Amino acid sequence: MNIKIEKVESLYIKFPLSKQQIHEAIPSVRDCATLLVKVYCSDGTIGFGRTYGGDSFGTYTVKRCIDTMIAPVVIGENPFYVHKIWKKLEDVSHFLGRAGAVFKGVSAVDIAIWDALGKITGLPLYHLLGAARDHVNVYASEGWLNLSTEELVESVKALVDKGYKAVKFRLPLDKNECIEKMSAVREAVGPDINLMVDIQNAWVDVPTSIKRVKELEKYDPFFFEEPVRVQDLDGHAEIKYATGIPITGGEHIYSKHHFREALTKNAFSYVQVDSVRVGGVSEWMKVVGMCEAWFVPVIPHAAFEIHVHTACAFPESTVPYIEYLTDYEGELLPNIYKDFEHPESGVATPPSRPGLGLTLNDDFIKDYIISD
């Protein structure tokens, strides 16, 4: 089909969160923000994707990369040549580095092209990728460090009451608070709920992490996420082998080349590759294929409306769960999409409509666009 990409538009959208996310070792989050990308095709199709920016400076940096560096490479290309386009985007990122802001921009544009392809062909994204199933298990994710033990228990119990069989929450550096919160949550929900714990690099060093994991082992955690710095692949592997408890990470790793090192070092029990950082749908699929070859399951990070499709291109043994940030994406996605559907009882089914199967809520978006 002789269709060309005619325009690429990036929009910075931000509005206040009703609940702030307080962290220890990474920046806290007080606003619901995303960078939305629209790809306009010559047949009238508009595909869209999104990525994270973080704070205002980070979001503007990603936007600038898209507007000045990525868009000129994409315009004039046929969207069906999605892998040709991706290689051009990888090449143009050479001097700035194939990670960070540049690759977030690459990710958003690639996702938008895949959405356009679905709309052009009339196929939902998961059919376009080659479906292995039509539903996926979802774990709920919230429970930030500003919550007291009682508030954390209340938060997790509310999610279990909604039907979630797996819930992730955060634990701090302090030993006593860690044990108190983990013990209270396990007692409140019983033995049948999978409890996933995100440390967000707060335990700093390997010896502390090993000691803390062993102290919390009796509460039957499903996994501990990023106990030490994300770059410390050897440290994650050491913690995993010293404790026998699954250790996860990967949301901050960019491209298949960087994941190759993580897999070679056996750093993670589950890999948390994120399509809006790693290089879009195109690169996500390649990384998950690599993980299959290493027999390492994938539990993707966030980007729920995208991963509900990409996960269904693989069997449950490869992608057992996807994440839903219930108090972040739970506010963002129903506002920016008119027809977004929350998961039901811990299970999500991708929309059967073409592409991502979603319609942008332009009336909401226009009121929260942050201009240059």
83 with 139, same domain: the answer is no
Give a yes or no: residue 356 inside a domain: no
179 with 304, same domain: the answer is yes
Structural element, H or E, at residue 85: helix 82-92
Q: What is the pLDDT of residue 59?
A: 85
User: Which of 224, 227, 163 is CA-nearest to residue 201?
Assistant: 227
Q: What is the pLDDT of residue 341?
A: 94
How far is Cα 135 from Cα 70, in angstroms, rounded to an integer?
A: 34
Q: What is the pLDDT of residue 22?
A: 66
Cβ contact 20:141 at 8 Å:
no
How far is Cα 34 from Cα 8, in angstroms, rounded to an integer?
A: 16
Query: Who contacts 210 (Cβ-Cβ below 8 Å, separation ≥6)?
Result: 238, 239, 242, 243
63 with 137, same domain: the answer is no
Q: Is the dihedral of CA 302, 304, 309, 311 positive or negative?
A: positive
Single pTM value for the model:
0.96
Q: What is the pLDDT of residue 23?
A: 66
240 with 333, same domain: the answer is yes
When divided into structural domains, the chain yields a total of 2
User: Which domain does 158 fall in, by range?
Assistant: 127-348
Q: What is the pLDDT of residue 32?
A: 84
192 with 313, same domain: the answer is yes
101 with 182, same domain: the answer is no
Can you list the residues of the chain whose pLDDT is less than 50? none
Angle among Cα 70, 32, 173 to the nearest 5 degrees reads: 105
